[in-house]
Structure 1
């Protein structure tokens, strides 16, 4: 699970997904050299949009300068009265920068946000309701990706680019253990893991953080109204006891539990029978061990009891206080449309949130490939139809996840009573939600 969260971070210069961090605030880097101006909206007699909008991204410069400047130039040519000023913010300063700007009423017109930051700003009422403002394009996007931008039932962003995990598995290790195919479900994976470990010494299923595992298996972290913890259930207790048994059997190594293992190295050394991550990272194994890579193949991700895969989402939102709101919404739609997303996907290993883009030959051609990374790209795009962002739509989700994971680790490592751990986590989460 932890490796899944890090997938896009690694791909886009270690800066893009799910790690909230505060740093010393600085002015955003202006990619076009334009000074900030009063962005009063002006419309001519024909209703043509005119004015200036500011667009903030998270650590996409200078790697993607050509792409983003190209999109901006195209938008400006189609909307000749609108000027887009692109400014890039270091990711480790993004949370502080955006929250401070929203509080001061000077948030950029259009903002690139990960799901965590988005939910905080949406809860503050700082963002435009995209269920209404972008209702004309809503059906173009995968439902799970669109819903990632929701807070209290309202979507406050248009999904941009995505990441999800698929499986890289060692065919020879599975064959030695008596298996012809990789596992498709969590239950099957654990059944296979014991046999694989006994016959080969390699690990199969492992678990680190549990905040994604619970919701993928029908155990919500918080109530539907977001006011109280909802995970202290008999089902959750059963799951934790199950994991404790697997840990005591030696099937979950400490290094994996605590996310301290170098997973591609472990896979390349045949310590792992499979590795679930973004397919763009598969070739790390090829670099480390071409022989092991040649023994490998790709498969869809192992699914929880809900039958859904997990995705990570980057979003584009519009400030509720934008003085050029029509132009800002139009630009948000433009940069996230299928054509522009597909072009972005061809530059960097990400997935589009637009259904039509994911159906392009760029993704589908890998179905019969002998290369695990190419086949993995096909599976990752196919999974988007049933993928969800399992991050809970409340503003302090990072702290909630941390509490749940820490209590889970205490059960595994310190023999804490599982029910006591759930009780303590529930109390802490309820305090956070207050």
Structure 2
């Protein structure tokens, strides 16, 4: 990126390092620099340039310096940065990562600022809730993405399915109809646990629950078992592997072969689908994952990013102003249009009305959720007992026994 305000990763420490990144000399002595860490590919060069120029014009004496970080290894890098003494001032983090950073007691409490100026009552729950720890808002929602159903319009038409299903029951019926017409009604891998989480939440269950400060695995609750039962019914209507996730093989490539009617994925999968089979470019449609009731889509896992401010931020007050600008309505609308993201407030969904896939995501995002808000949840995902639990049920093992065993492992991991 050629923006003069973009620096090489970790190159902001000295003037010599800055020169090594090809930057121009610093501004006048009275100017102040706010250092912002953003993740690779979160924003385009054009968006970053427009935001920087507009912000600096409105805030004389402030310069923005952006450092682009890679997702690989970012946890250790952020933990070290917030534990040190030199910044950065603002950091983009994954929404489900906030809890582990807040657990260090090194994040600034943004509760007052978020409630007063940013309309927090309208934030997407899947971004706001993981940013809130013990009633304190440490992460300010920035942008979101979530799963939808991507479908092959021609196969739907050939099977006589004239409109997307409105309920889960109708979804099963339509998928069976697609199968009878000769296509594969749906491709759903057996270990797509993010999709399972949505069905569990839709039933009123959860992956784990906070019981007075102790996190307990909850896959064996009646609600969670109902969610797994629906997953089993849906998965049986396709030929997805029972012992692998959606990346083994990549489901976008399977869909691109042309005989699969539906997959559950984020719209970003379209790029891989059309690259593998350009003929599908104008044959793809989207609808929210159906819920139990008409007019209420299924709960979905919300991925995305929050913005945090470390306690040690050298320019903390100015950092808060930058967060307010990035998370405010003007630049939320700009970001959503530029990057096909869901904006951070449900009331802003209309800004992506002309972008079919993003508009469908926004419908689901209104009922979005995130993984359990425990600092140790990343350890659960590392070993991930949910995946073999799903395979066990799909292969005919007793659901209650398999769920109880997986829940016990989740409980042990969250207690460590």
Partner of 2:320: 329
- Contact (CA 8 Å) 2:149, 2:264: kept in 1 or not? yes
> Does residue 397 of the first structure (1) align with residue 367 of the second (2)?
no
When structure 1 is superposed on structure 2, of 119-128 and 179-188 the one drifting more is 179-188
The whole-number CA distance in structure 2 between the counterparts of 1:189 and 1:59 is 37
The whole-number CA distance in structure 2 between the counterparts of 1:244 and 1:279 is 24
Q: CA 1:85 to 1:33, structure 2 compared with 1: closer, same or farther past 3 Å? A: farther
The whole-number CA distance in structure 2 between the counterparts of 1:422 and 1:404 is 10
When structure 1 is superposed on structure 2, of 89-98 and 293-302 the one drifting more is 293-302
When structure 1 is superposed on structure 2, of 424-433 and 302-311 the one drifting more is 302-311
- Contact (CA 8 Å) 2:11, 2:17: kept in 1 or not? no
Q: CA RMSD in A?
A: 3.4
The partner residue of 1:150 within 111, 114, 132 is: 132
SS of residue matched to 1:163: strand
Partner of 2:400: 419
The whole-number CA distance in structure 1 between the counterparts of 2:267 and 2:332 is 18
1:394 CA drift (Å): 1.4
Q: CA 1:393 to 1:54, structure 2 compared with 1: closer, same or farther past 3 Å? A: same
The partner residue of 1:407 within 388, 396, 401 is: 388
> Does residue 348 of the first structure (1) align with residue 336 of the second (2)?
no
The partner residue of 2:163 within 156, 176, 181 is: 181
Could you state the TM-score of these two structures normalised by the residue count of structure 1? 0.76
The whole-number CA distance in structure 1 between the counterparts of 2:230 and 2:287 is 26
> Does residue 200 of the first structure (1) align with residue 182 of the second (2)?
yes
- Contact (CA 8 Å) 2:209, 2:372: kept in 1 or not? no
1:422 CA drift (Å): 1.5
- Contact (CA 8 Å) 1:170, 1:297: kept in 2 or not? yes
Please list, as runs of the form range in 1=range in 2, the aligned pairs for 1:16-55 lying within 5 A after superposition: 28-30=10-12, 51-55=32-36
Q: CA 1:166 to 1:34, structure 2 compared with 1: closer, same or farther past 3 Å? A: farther
The whole-number CA distance in structure 1 between the counterparts of 2:13 and 2:182 is 53
> Does residue 269 of the first structure (1) align with residue 257 of the second (2)?
yes
- Contact (CA 8 Å) 1:213, 1:304: kept in 2 or not? no
- Contact (CA 8 Å) 1:168, 1:296: kept in 2 or not? yes
- Unaligned residue ranges in structure 2 (runs of 5+): 1-7, 19-29
1:383 CA drift (Å): 4.2
Q: CA 1:148 to 1:202, structure 2 compared with 1: closer, same or farther past 3 Å? A: same
The partner residue of 1:171 within 153, 161, 167 is: 153
1:200 CA drift (Å): 1.6
Q: CA 1:317 to 1:34, structure 2 compared with 1: closer, same or farther past 3 Å? A: farther
- Contact (CA 8 Å) 2:341, 2:358: kept in 1 or not? no
- Contact (CA 8 Å) 2:149, 2:262: kept in 1 or not? yes
The whole-number CA distance in structure 2 between the counterparts of 1:175 and 1:256 is 32
- Contact (CA 8 Å) 1:266, 1:272: kept in 2 or not? yes
- Contact (CA 8 Å) 2:150, 2:286: kept in 1 or not? yes
The whole-number CA distance in structure 1 between the counterparts of 2:14 and 2:348 is 29
Q: CA 1:390 to 1:187, structure 2 compared with 1: closer, same or farther past 3 Å? A: farther
Q: CA 1:307 to 1:105, structure 2 compared with 1: closer, same or farther past 3 Å? A: farther
The whole-number CA distance in structure 2 between the counterparts of 1:359 and 1:31 is 42
Partner of 1:254: 241
**Alignment size in residue pairs:** 384
1:412 CA drift (Å): 4.4
Partner of 2:65: 85
1:113 CA drift (Å): 0.5
SS of residue matched to 2:401: helix
1:317 CA drift (Å): 0.9
Partner of 2:81: 101
Q: CA 1:280 to 1:215, structure 2 compared with 1: closer, same or farther past 3 Å? A: same
> Does residue 297 of the first structure (1) align with residue 285 of the second (2)?
yes
The whole-number CA distance in structure 2 between the counterparts of 1:217 and 1:152 is 25
Any idea what the Cα deviations from partners look like across 1:7-59, whole Å, max 9, x if unmatched? xxxxxxxxxxxxxxxxxxx96244997869xxxxxxxxxxxx97443211122
Could you state the TM-score of these two structures normalised by the residue count of structure 2? 0.79
- Contact (CA 8 Å) 1:123, 1:394: kept in 2 or not? no
- Unaligned residue ranges in structure 1 (runs of 5+): 1-25, 37-48, 367-373
Any idea what the Cα deviations from partners look like across 1:386-411, whole Å, max 9, x if unmatched? 23232221122233345342332441
SS of residue matched to 2:105: coil
The whole-number CA distance in structure 1 between the counterparts of 2:52 and 2:152 is 44
1:232 CA drift (Å): 1.8
The whole-number CA distance in structure 2 between the counterparts of 1:91 and 1:264 is 22
Q: CA 1:295 to 1:327, structure 2 compared with 1: closer, same or farther past 3 Å? A: closer
